Structure 1
Amino acid sequence: MYVRQATKPIPPCVAGELDERRHLPDGAIVDTDYTWYEIEGVRTLTRDATAYLPDGSVVHAKTTDQAADGSGRIRVVPLAIDELVALVTDPELRISAPVPPGTSSPPEVCLRFSKTGAVIDQALARRWNAVLAQIPLDGVPLDRPLGALLQGERGRGVCQAVHVSTPGLQSRLAIVISTEQPLPQESDTSSYGGARRRLPDGTLVETREVRSAAPASTPRTDRTVTVTHPSGTQVAISFADAPAELLPLAQFEEIALNPGLEVS
């Protein structure tokens, strides 16, 4: 589901591209479709509705008979077409709807690509969230606490990005966790701004710290730590425009090597 500002005219109603176009009394136009697609002999049923609303909002909702974690079919499409229409025309979902006082800003989308690896189910993501929420980050002014991982495309890989507000500049801290990642077999090496070492259990730890290109009154760095376990679990943490006094690489490593973030 998404809600956005319309940037193009309402598309024409073309037979074969949608099942029905509804013109509602308030001027809203809603397109609906009930269809299916098939990949390698597996058929997926889908229903969707797109509303073009008088205030310039475009609201789209889609539902399928595929389980949310990608594990298989749930044998029924959860919402009927009329329920989807009611959802996309809800006045509270329009861009002009007032934001309730105290509402925090939406989380940043931080995994824009299709991460390879196994599908990460909600139970595992919740377990990782609980671990991240308990990590002490005293003195680091985050705009929201860690422990709210978002799934990437098709559920492969999870991530969270937060902002760190310090005088003169806002920094960005992100963590990405994925599974079934290949473990590099090259010998330990180091390069400009980066280093690689292997732990006794075979875990590979890669670190990098370079001068940030962002203008600032005091030096800032871009820091990354990537930990890849023999199990295939990979934890990558990045801190862009990082103040020198906050979260050194050693602390990054401690977070990324937390045993609660690994899938054995």
Structure 2
Amino acid sequence: MSKEQTDSSRAEKWTFALTVVSLIAGGTVVAGLVDRWSSSPSDDISVAASSSISMTSTPEEMAPEDVPEFSYVTPSAVYPTTIPGCESVEAPEEDSFFSYILDGSDTYDDPRFPWFSSAKAAAMSDAVKQALPKDVELKFASPGNSLQFGPISAPSNTDGLPEGFSLEELASTTASGTLIRDGKIGALSLMLHSSSDPIPSCVAGSLVERRVLADQSVVDLQDTWTETNGVRTLNRSAMLYGADGTRIQAYVNDTNNDGGRDAESSGVVPLTLDELATLVAMPQLLITTPVPPGTAPLQTDCGGWADESSGRELDRGIVDALGDALRSGWHAAAPGGPDLGSQLGDLVLAENDTTTACQDLVARSDGNESRLSISITSGQPLPTPPNKYDPSYDGHPLSMVTAEDGSVIERDESRWENVHRSVVVTHPGGTQVTVSSSAEAPNVPMTFEQLEFLATIDGLEIR
């Protein structure tokens, strides 16, 4: 195999194994790439948790005696061997790892990658969801955890790229979600990027079958397992080397969270190899396939990392009912407020918080634009009025009143780079509705009256 082919083989195999290993202040992410499709004869690896595989604290914070041992085991590769669909099979390669820095400026419309956009992401996301087998359920989750392709993740510049790798190989979009089939749970993820490199050779331990499609695209299939600290995870994957330069990997395992620290194995992978091969070969996922007219826009994530909550975990029925109440209540008697658009009430499950429904919108009125955020959660205690004579009292909230039904209504406002105004309504039953609006001059946020009208619409309690 030529040096060009060798470099291509290495790049293709670990580009799709992107692992974010550390989050640094300021939104900078250190990303690690590791080849997990090939297995070397030495398959039992022990490393310290302060390495790039696990970054629960920085090396400066972790004393040597506090570093736990970490083991990662994969099956031994058999060589020499034959693989269906491969004319020849090469010896397994050593696992490799390196890291590079992402600056957190991911976007759907990066001019460096004209094949991708938010509309393309929406079309691909819809296609993947519709292609799932009829007896496979996509677990209800936030948009970002519901097989929705995210923005392109790529280094901001080409300085410091590892030798042999191009920017296009490191620029990828991913989608992930949890699947349920016959009561068994598993995590599915897809990664898509473009590449002009040739299709790599077959390597022992990296695949169990190669298929050549009618357009000469190639699909490599893998069915294997890994053991992390003695816990086994079953893994299946399909990698498409598209004739048009598309590279897609679909990866599924038998855990509830893609193999993270709190993973629980079900013992059954919810998709077969044939189903994975069909998924990656869909024409809708090719980088050269145009976006169909009328494609619905992406749903946006809202919320964030939640504090510990005693609230009720929300299902699709509860979230939809809250959204219907919000939509009908505003349109029935809105107090001459701004136009909130047709998507008002399209609540989603909050990112990383299954107890909260939320939505971010843009409010428009006579040339004025402001951002509107709505959040509904439960399990919250009634707030108590602040002691205005306490030296720590900072003047917030601006007001707090108790309504006739016992609900507590808080109004607050802050002024920094923009004006931020909010109304929080906490019901005696524990439901808390937060509605906030912000705008940068010369725009102004929605009024307290408009925000309170939204927050007190009938039907927004979680029971």
1:256: Cα distance to partner? 1.0
Q: Does 1:240 align with 2:448?
A: no
Judged with a 3 Å threshold, the aligned counterparts in structure 2 of structure 1 residues 251 and 99 are, in CA distance, closer, same or farther, namely same
Q: Which residue of 1 aligns with 2:274?
A: 82
Q: Which residue of 1 aligns with 2:397?
A: 194
Give 1:174's match in structure 2, choosing from 373, 395, 410: 373
Q: Which residue of 1 aligns with 2:462?
A: 263
Matched ranges for 1:21-32 at <5 A: 25=213, 26-27=216-217
Q: Count how many residue pairs are aligned between Structure 1 and Structure 2.
A: 246
1:150: Cα distance to partner? 1.2
For 1:147, give the aligned amino acid. G
Question: Which whole-Å deviations, capped at 9, do the CAs of 1:42-74 have from their partners, x for residues lacking one?
Answer: x9x9866465664456565658697xxxxxxx9
In structure 2, runs of 5+ residues without a counterpart are: 1-146, 155-169, 173-190, 192-201, 257-265
Question: Which whole-Å deviations, capped at 9, do the CAs of 1:189-210 have from their partners, x for residues lacking one?
Answer: 6854632424154422222223
Contact 1:205 1:226 in 2 (8 A): yes
Give 2:321's match in structure 1, choosing from 119, 127, 142: 127
Contact 2:398 2:410 in 1 (8 A): yes
Give 1:205's match in structure 2, choosing from 386, 402, 409: 409
What is the Cα-based RMSD across aligned positions, in Å?
4.4
1:146: Cα distance to partner? 0.9
Contact 2:377 2:432 in 1 (8 A): yes
The DSSP-based 3-state class of the residue aligned with 1:155 is strand
The DSSP-based 3-state class of the residue aligned with 2:149 is strand
Judged with a 3 Å threshold, the aligned counterparts in structure 2 of structure 1 residues 77 and 31 are, in CA distance, closer, same or farther, namely closer
Q: Which residue of 2 aligns with 1:113?
A: 305
Instruction: With the length of structure 1 as denominator, give the TM-score of the two structures.
Output: 0.68
Judged with a 3 Å threshold, the aligned counterparts in structure 2 of structure 1 residues 90 and 250 are, in CA distance, closer, same or farther, namely same
Instruction: With the length of structure 2 as denominator, give the TM-score of the two structures.
Output: 0.42
Residues in 2 aligned to 1:247 and 1:237: alpha-carbon distance in whole angstroms = 10
The DSSP-based 3-state class of the residue aligned with 1:100 is coil
The DSSP-based 3-state class of the residue aligned with 2:398 is strand
Judged with a 3 Å threshold, the aligned counterparts in structure 2 of structure 1 residues 79 and 248 are, in CA distance, closer, same or farther, namely same
1:96: Cα distance to partner? 4.7
Contact 1:2 1:60 in 2 (8 A): no
Q: Which residue of 2 aligns with 1:71?
A: none
Judged with a 3 Å threshold, the aligned counterparts in structure 2 of structure 1 residues 128 and 9 are, in CA distance, closer, same or farther, namely closer
- Identical positions, percent: 28
Contact 1:193 1:210 in 2 (8 A): no
Residues in 2 aligned to 1:34 and 1:50: alpha-carbon distance in whole angstroms = 12
Give 1:3's match in structure 2, choosing from 124, 144, 149: 149
Q: Which residue of 2 aligns with 1:162?
A: 361
Question: Which whole-Å deviations, capped at 9, do the CAs of 1:216-259 have from their partners, x for residues lacking one?
Answer: xxxxx321112222222111112121744x63112211221223
Q: Which residue of 1 aligns with 2:427?
A: 229
1:156: Cα distance to partner? 2.5
Contact 1:47 1:64 in 2 (8 A): yes
Contact 1:236 1:256 in 2 (8 A): yes
Contact 1:3 1:60 in 2 (8 A): no
Question: Which whole-Å deviations, capped at 9, do the CAs of 1:9-53 have from their partners, x for residues lacking one?
Answer: 899x9999x98686755556666667799xxxxx9x986646566
Judged with a 3 Å threshold, the aligned counterparts in structure 2 of structure 1 residues 35 and 225 are, in CA distance, closer, same or farther, namely farther
Contact 2:305 2:353 in 1 (8 A): no
1:140: Cα distance to partner? 2.2
Moved more, 223-232 or 163-172: 163-172
More strand by share: 1
Question: Which whole-Å deviations, capped at 9, do the CAs of 1:91-140 have from their partners, x for residues lacking one?
Answer: 21345532222334312211232463321011111111111221125652
Residues in 1 aligned to 2:239 and 2:361: alpha-carbon distance in whole angstroms = 31
For 1:195, give the aligned amino acid. L
The DSSP-based 3-state class of the residue aligned with 1:173 is strand
Judged with a 3 Å threshold, the aligned counterparts in structure 2 of structure 1 residues 167 and 102 are, in CA distance, closer, same or farther, namely farther
1:82: Cα distance to partner? 2.7
Residues in 2 aligned to 1:2 and 1:48: alpha-carbon distance in whole angstroms = 20
